[in-house]
Every structure is written in C-alpha cells, then in structure tokens.
Amino acid sequence: MTDTPVLEVRNLNVRFDTPKGEFHAVKDVNFTMGREKLAIVGESGSGKTQTGRAILGLTQGHITADKMAFHGTNLLDLAPAQWREIRGKRIAMVMQDPKYSLNPVMTIGDQLIEAGKRLLGTDGAHKRALEMLEAVKIRDPKRVFNAWPHELSGGMGQRAMIAMMLMAEPELLIADEPTSALDVTVRLQVLAILDDLVKTRDMGLVFISHDLNLVRTFADRVLIMYGGRVVEELPAKDLMNATHPYTRGLLACAPEVDRPTKRLATLTRDPAWAQSPGGTR
Amino acid sequence: MIEIENLTVVFGDSDNRVTAVDGVSLKVAAGESFGLVGESGSGKSTILRAVAGLADSTGSIVINGQKQGRKRDRNFYSQVQMVFQDPFGSLHPKHTIDRILTEPLVVHDVPDREAKVRAVLDQVQLGPSFRFRYPHQLSGGQRQRIAIARALILRPKIILLDEPTSALDVSIQAEVLNLLDDIRNELGVTYLMVSHDLGVVAHMCRRFAVMRQGKVVEVADSRHLGTGTLEHAYSRQLLVASKGYDRAVIDAFADL
Amino acid sequence: MISASLRSWLLSDTPDSRFQARAGRFYLGWLTFAKNPLAMLGLIILVLLVVMAVFASWISPHDPLFGNLEDRLLPPSGKFWLGTDENGRDIFSRIVFGARTTLYIIGLVAVTAAPIGLLIGTTAGYVGGWVETGLMRLTDAFLAFPKLILALAFAAALGAGLENAVLAIALTAWPPYARIARAETLTVRGSDYLAAARMTGAGGWRILFGHIMPMCIPSLIVRVSLDMAGIILIAAGLGFLGLGVAPPQPEWGSMVSEGRSQILEQWWVCTYPGIAICIVSLGFNLIGDGLRDVLDPRGK
C-alpha cells in the first residue's frame, strides 16, 4: 500500500424512489483503499453492487456522501466533462456477464481500439489492443481481435472485456461479480489475470462478490455488507475468525467438500444488523 | 431405479451437429442420491432432460424397470418430476401458485386437490398465505420452494434436480438443501442431481459422476472429495479449483 | 375515489382467494393505465362512443333515416347542429346512429380476427414442423395483398351489406395477429415453465390454451386496439365505395362518400363524419399505447 489512498469513501448513501416509498440501498458506507484487492461481499440486495456503481456514478439512485475521493479528487463535485476523463480511463468497471457488456455488432478488436483511441491514437490503440489481449492470457490474440462477441466462449468474452477495461491503464478497476458466470477453472484463470494486474500495474481492485470462499482466498481485505450496511471489515486471511454473527452465519451455511455435515446450518437474520453500523473502521 | 445405457443426445442438423451426451451409462439405485458434476457444456443437464423426456435421445433409459420410449406417458410423469435451475423462469408468470400446484392434480385427475395443495405448501414450509400469490410476489428461495412443491405434489419416486440452488444466495441454498434432505428422509425419493458445486454434491449425494464433453470421466464416492482421492486428473483439477483461489496452482491448470 | 380498505385489499401481497389475486392484478394494471393522461383521453373517447351508440335514440334530435327534403343541405344551425345532407337528414343524428355501426364492426372484427390469429399463430409456433410451414405460408399469402384491396375483393365477392363487410375485414385482419402470436410463442417455447408444464404430463391443447396463449394475449390486445383505427378506416372505405352498409343506414364512411360531391359548397356534409372517424381512430390509438405500458411484459 502506498501513501495517498486510491479511493476514500465517507458516509456513502444511495437511495431510490420507488412506488412503495424510498428504498435506502446503501447506508453510511465507509472505506479507504490503496493499491490492493478490496472485496465487497454480501447476498443479493445487500447493496454491494450499488456501492460499486455509486463510485462511478452509474446508479439510478440518489447518491450522497461526505466524501468520495479518488486520488484526492472528490468525485461528487465533478462536472460531466470531468467525469468523462475519469470514467473508463482512470476508473474502469467489469460487469458480470460479458454477453451484455460487449457490443454485439463490433469485432472485439474494434471495441478495444475504440476504448483506447482517444488516448493512444488509432495505431497506438491497435498495438496496445493486441498487447492487452495477450496480457489477459488469450492464446491467439489475432484471432480474438478479429472475432465477434458471439464467437467467444464466456471465459474468452470476459477476458476480452477485461482487456478492454485495461486499454486506458486504469488506476482503479471495479469488478462486479466478474467471474460468476464462468466455470470454476476458467474463473480462477481470470482471477489470476486480475491478480497479476494489481501486482504489476499498481492498480486498485474493488472485487464485488457473493462467494465468501473465493474472496477469502483471493482478496486482501473484505467488507461484508448486509441490508445496505457494512457490518464487518477485516483482512481476508482472518475471515474464518470473523466476529459478526452474519459473517459467521454465512461461512457456516455453505457446504464444503472437506467439512461434511449431516445438516447445514441456516442463518437466522437479526434486523438489528441492518440498523446499526457494525464492524471496524 | 434409473438405469441409463449408452445414452447419446445430439443437437442440431447434419451440418451443425453437437453431441451433448456421448454414450453415457449410469445406474442409480432406489432411494439413492446421485450427483452429476461438470462444467458448462459437459452434458450434465442434458442427461436430466433426456431422462425427463424433454430431449430426444438414443440408447436406453429404464425407469423403475420400465424401458422408456420416445414419448413418455402420463404415468411416467407421476413417477418422475423435475426441479429446474432458474426459479424465475420455471414458474408461469401469469399463473398463481394455486394454479401452478393444482395443475398436475388436474392433469392426473387426482381428487382432494384443495387439501393436497395446502399439505404440500406446508411441506415446503410456506404456509397457506402463499397460495394465491403470483410468482413475481415471491423471492427466489420461495419460488424454488414452490417449484419443489410442484414436483412433490404427485408423490413421484424420482426427482431430477437441475442445479436447484445455483441461482440462490448461500443462506437460502442451505435452507433449500435442508428441505430437499427432509423430503428425501420422509418420502424416500431418489434424487438425480446436477450441480457445478462440489460442496453441494458432497453434501447431498453419496455417489457422483464427473462429466466432461458429454462423457463420464469418473464415478466416485463423495467421501473421496473430502480425502481428495479422485482417480481422474480432470476431477482432481475441479476439486482443487473448488477450494478457492491459489495463484500457485492456476498455471498448472490444463485443458484436460 | 376508492376506499382505503378496498385499496389495501386490492394491493395486498398476500391475497386470500383466486378472485382477490386476479382483482389485485387488474387494479395494478388500471393504476398504470390511469397514470397516462393520453390513454385516459382515449378511454374517454371510447366511453363516449359507447354511450352515443347505446343512447342513440335519446341523443339524436332528428330521425337519422328520413329527412325533410325542404331541409336539404342546410348549414349547421341551432336546429341542425351539424347541418343536413342532400336528403335533408340531420348529420348529427346520423353520426350518433353511425356510432352503432362503427362499434358493431370493430367489435365483431375484434372477436373474430383476434382469436383466429391467436389460434393459428400459437399452433404454428408450438407445433412447429410442416404445420408451422403450412400455416405461416397461408398467413404470408394473405399478407401479400394490401388490406383494403383484399377486403374489397372479399366484400365484392360476398355482396354488399354490413355482415359481409365485417367478414371481409376479419378475413384480412387476422394474419398480423397470427404473426405476433407465433413470434411470442417462439420466445416462450424453450422456457422452463413450458418444460415444467410438459413434466406434469399435460397434453398439447392444455399447454397451448393454458400456458402459451396467456403469454401472447397481452401483445395481441395492444395490437388489436392499435388496429382498431385501421379497421374503422377500412370499414369507412368499404362504405365509401358502396360495399358496406346498405343505405339509408348511417355509416360514417358512406356519409363522407355521399358528401363528396358537395365538398366545396356544403363542406359540413362530409367533414363532420370525417372528424368523427378521426377522433375515434385517435382514441383507439391512445388506448393501445396506454395498454402497451400496462400489458407489455418487457416494460417491467
């Protein structure tokens, strides 16, 4: 970790107007991250995705925060033109399903060039596109460069997506369940690419996931969210020693191959978890 | 209970043939829970669909001593039922829960429908207040319980489970797996369960088959998952991968 | 407008009966529809049309069929609000009675053409194979002709008269519905809930009527209500060409036709029925748009 934090978030709230009244999706979320792999874990509806989207201002809801600083720049004060300089260039995002994120009527190569054109010029972007396809461990970058999205498997598509996000050398990558749609072995290979990128390019990674086991072995630090709140924050290696009953409950109810049980533990939810801010700063 | 011999399923026409299942043979005893694991495209779900009569196949499928032909009769469906992967897609969006659960009884001309619907809702721990709701008014876990209730209501001997919990959160998964466990203990049904999650298979099934590219590479006892004593290199790789992220072993992954 | 307890009963997430579930669903749709002011305008137009048709004898100040020749071609006045035609009949009264004809035509076309199209389209989509090929080629054959020309041909072959006009219009109106129904069927054909329906052992008809048709009906209703305007115009066209309603029965299209020779001197004779056609067509279009918001499953 280095001196200035890559991202500092203070009291982030996201609210939605719904026909049934206001829905408070993210409640008073705080975190600071450097060039590391920060995981945000939770079940569906926990607010993890909305937190990730709020960083890029990509939510339909109303965002309020005391501070949301990216390398000291408060993202909340940015004009649209300034946002364009950051979104997709300095902060990039990878979504869950490459099928919906890649443009179906453009070849992979054209999409990569499009992403890097303004920064590098067409020739530079062309060269860099091939480099990036290689960087994400695609064996035949030339073929994939000329391929259409529908010709790629899920794993290949997601790698191409990551390559596209890396065209502009972002300093922060937000990955929302980037590997959930992939098979286990491919999933780990894609994670290895992200891991290497964090190490070699000094990038920060926000990794949003529902998979505690994966997060425990992959991330550096973990935020556990429940009902819009961060209920616990701890280093990934200490996850097994989590103290919050929700985290402990989640860990206990997943069946594991080397820990056979006659009956799975179930989670008894305590409404108080979503009420009071828990965990540590 | 289920005997599959040399089962082959081919999709597409002559120019564009995909052999989804390639000469698979399996035997599942009555009351047993058997798992099918593998990555996407390995043919594990297609086997279930072939057994259910939803996909055309060659080879032989014998259910409860009866060889099944191309068309399944009504009696078959009172013995074999299925729970689908996606709880949002397997319930008709314009039917109430009541209609969804009553329909199998109507088709099979079973009397006492009212009481049976109430009983099965109880059995999946949902209670009568759910009876007249539409699927969109239910959470994913509740929908999957309804799907299980629909599969149960004809009192089948075999339930085919196609990734029944992969669309659910872990805490909900635990509840649904416990429910499936209770049903098995209570009614002695046979499960044929497809999953990509070795943990789920180890928990639910005594034996399982590892599938790859339409073929069974190994049939193993699920205790071997805990001890790591699997025979085939591909199965071992799946097992290692299921344990989480370890940068050191990933480069050793091969397209076995 | 609606009491609080009834409202909460309707919007309950835990209905106690089939009826409450259905009513709740309907009410939610109504709320969406009512939020759209243009759709409400369309609904008001339709309601006025129905009121006009039902109470035609009370509303119209004069006899629509027989006029006084001394009063022919009078401009709009206090006595004849919209003027009179060349037979001295009150145009307002004829428009009011013409609403009956219009409603009769669109109602009959809707209840014949839509079910035919629905049945053909869903059968083709669900059964597939040569059945699909056969049914869809038949549909294409009908679609190959311009609607009005085909309706004209049928009407001419069947002879003039209101029933024949309706029949001719229905025969030309079903193919687009068959297309839509087939397209909707194809999108649901591979769904898990149909597989689940087959797993209950249900037969083809039960699946077709109970599972597939409910998924096709919403887009069909939208399309039918949008087509109503076109049907009114075709009926008017047939009337205009003398193939619709037999005179002296009032029908808006034939009224326009009768007035066309005096369009410059006695403009009111054909203008007012034309405006009536215009307003009702617009009303149905607005309703169709509103229904699309309510019924289109992709909208939610």
Coil, strand or helix at A232: strand
Q: Greater confidence, B177 or C225?
A: B177
Confidence of residue B254 (pLDDT cuts 50, 70, 90): low
In this predicted structure, the answer to whether residue A79 has a pLDDT above a threshold of 70 is yes
Instruction: State both tokens at B87.
Output: 């709880």
- Bridge partners of B81, per DSSP, are B159
Q: C-alpha angle B16/B84/A268, rounded to 5°? A: 145
Note whether B133 contacts C214, CB cutoff 8 Å.
no
Distance CA(C272)–CA(C126), nearest Å, equals 47
Closest CB to B238: pick one of A184, A192, A250. A184
Confidence of residue C11 (pLDDT cuts 50, 70, 90): confident
Residue-range definition of the domain harbouring residue A111: 99-169
Compute the average pLDDT of residues B50-62. 92
Does the pTM of the predicted model rise above 0.90? Answer: no
Q: Specify the pLDDT at position B111.
A: 92
Instruction: State both tokens at B244.
Output: 């989480």
In this predicted structure, the answer to whether residue A189 has a pLDDT above a threshold of 90 is no
Lowest mean pLDDT among A64-68, C3-7, C170-174: C3-7
Q: Is B255 domain-assigned?
A: no
On chain B, the residues whose CB falls within 8 A of the CB of A265 are 174
Spacing of C-alpha B111 from chain mean position: 28
Nearest CA in chain C to B136: C13
Same structural domain, A10 and A80: yes
Residue B111, classified by CB atoms within 10 Å of its CB into exposed (0-12), middle (13-18) or buried (19+), is exposed
Distance CA(A94)–CA(A58), nearest Å, equals 13
Compute the average pLDDT of residues B224-235. 87
Half-sphere exposure of A93 (CA within 13 A, CB side): 19
Count: domains in chain A: 2
Note whether C18 contacts B76, CB cutoff 8 Å.
no
Q: How many CB atoms are located within 10 Å of the residue A30 CB?
A: 18
On chain A, the residues whose CB falls within 8 A of the CB of B39 are 183-186
Exposure string of C244-279, with b = 16+ CB inside 10 Å and e = fewer, is bbeeebbbbbbbbbbbeeeeeebebbbbbbbebbee
Distance CA(A103)–CA(A242), nearest Å, equals 41
Residue C166, classified by CB atoms within 10 Å of its CB into exposed (0-12), middle (13-18) or buried (19+), is buried
Same structural domain, A191 and A248: yes
Nearest CA in chain A to B237: A185
Q: How many Cβ pairs within 8 Å bridge chains A and B?
A: 99
Sheet holding B215-221, edge to edge: B80-83, B158-162, B190-195, B33-38, B207-212, B215-221
Compute the average pLDDT of residues B103-121. 93
A139 touches chain B (CB under 8 A): no
Confidence of residue B5 (pLDDT cuts 50, 70, 90): very high
The set of residues, in sequence order, having a beta carbon less than 8 Å from that of C264 and lying 6+ positions away, is none
Binning chain C into helix, strand and coil, the percentages to the nearest 5 are 75, 0, 25
Final residue before a domain boundary, out of A169, A193, A221: A169
Exposure string of A99-134, with b = 16+ CB inside 10 Å and e = fewer, is bebbeeeebbbbbbbbbbbeebeeeebbebbbebbe
Same structural domain, A137 and A259: no
The set of residues, in sequence order, having a beta carbon less than 8 Å from that of C35 and lying 6+ positions away, is none
ipTM: 0.89
Count: domains in chain B: 1
Compute the average pLDDT of residues A240-263. 87
Confidence of residue C183 (pLDDT cuts 50, 70, 90): very high
- Which CATH code of 3.30.70.2860, 1.10.3720.10, 3.90.550.10, 3.30.70.360 fits the domain covering C48-60+88-186+215-299? 1.10.3720.10
Closest CB to B245: pick one of A183, A188, A249. A188
CA dihedral A181, A183, A188, A193 (to 10 degrees): -60
Q: Specify the pLDDT at position B244.
A: 85
Q: What percent of chain C has pLDDT over 90?
A: 33
* Nearest CA among A197, A178, A198 for reference residue A188: A178
Helices and strands per DSSP (H, E), number in chain A: 10, 11
The set of residues, in sequence order, having a beta carbon less than 8 Å from that of C232 and lying 6+ positions away, is C102, C105, C106, C252, C277, C280, C281, C284
Lowest mean pLDDT among A90-104, C36-50, C102-116: A90-104
Lowest mean pLDDT among B238-242, C36-40, C207-211: B238-242
In this predicted structure, the answer to whether residue B210 has a pLDDT above a threshold of 90 is yes
Same structural domain, A138 and A20: no
Per residue in A211-228, pLDDT (tens digit) is 998 999 999 999 999 999
Q: How far apart are the first and last CA of chain B?
A: 32
Separation in Å, CA B236 to CA A36, B126, B209, B226, B230: 31, 40, 13, 11, 6
Final residue before a domain boundary, out of A111, A134, A169: A169
Q: Specify the pLDDT at position C210.
A: 93
CB contact residues (below 8 A), chain B span 201-230, against chain A: 202-204, 225-226
Q: Specify the pLDDT at position B92.
A: 93
Q: Specify the pLDDT at position C300.
A: 42
In this predicted structure, the answer to whether residue A277 has a pLDDT above a threshold of 70 is no
On chain B, the residues whose CB falls within 8 A of the CB of C192 are 84-86, 89-90
Compute the average pLDDT of residues C136-152. 89
Distance CA(B69)–CA(B58), nearest Å, equals 10
Strands A221-226 and A37-41: parallel
In this predicted structure, the answer to whether residue A279 has a pLDDT above a threshold of 90 is no
Final residue before a domain boundary, out of A146, A169, A192: A169
Per residue in C251-265, pLDDT (tens digit) is 888 888 888 888 888
CA dihedral C267, C268, C269, C274 (to 10 degrees): 100
The set of residues, in sequence order, having a beta carbon less than 8 Å from that of B126 and lying 6+ positions away, is B142, B145, B146, B149
Q: How many Cβ pairs within 8 Å bridge chains B and C?
A: 83
Same structural domain, A193 and A59: yes
Distance CA(A126)–CA(B140), nearest Å, equals 44
Compute the average pLDDT of residues B206-214. 93
Distance CA(B64)–CA(B79), nearest Å, equals 9
Same structural domain, A54 and A176: yes
Residue-range definition of the domain harbouring residue B36: 2-250
In this predicted structure, the answer to whether residue C1 has a pLDDT above a threshold of 60 is no
Confidence of residue A281 (pLDDT cuts 50, 70, 90): very low
C61 touches chain B (CB under 8 A): no
Note whether B169 contacts A210, CB cutoff 8 Å.
yes
How does DSSP assign A144-196, residue by residue? HHT--GGGS-HHHHHHHHHHHHHTT--SEEEEESTTTTS-HHHHHHHHHHHHH
Distance CA(B212)–CA(B106), nearest Å, equals 40
Lowest mean pLDDT among A21-25, A160-164, A244-248, A258-262: A258-262
Q: Which of B49, B74, B90 to mutate to test the interface with C (most CBs of C within 10 A)?
A: B90
Lowest mean pLDDT among A88-92, A211-215, C126-130: A88-92
Strands B207-212 and B33-38: parallel
Q: Is B256 domain-assigned?
A: no
Strands A172-176 and A91-94: parallel
Per residue in A14-72, pLDDT (tens digit) is 999 877 778 899 999 999 998 899 999 998 889 999 999 999 888 888 999 998 999 88
Compute the average pLDDT of residues C151-162. 85
CATH number for B86? 3.40.50.300
Lowest mean pLDDT among A35-44, A193-202, B157-166: A193-202
**Chain B: residues touching C (Cβ < 8 Å):** 49, 52-54, 72-74, 76-78, 80-82, 84-86, 89-96, 98, 103-104, 107-108, 129-130, 132-134, 137, 147, 150, 154
Q: Specify the pLDDT at position A164.
A: 87
Distance CA(A222)–CA(A16), nearest Å, equals 26
Same structural domain, A15 and A125: no
Q: Specify the pLDDT at position A1.
A: 45
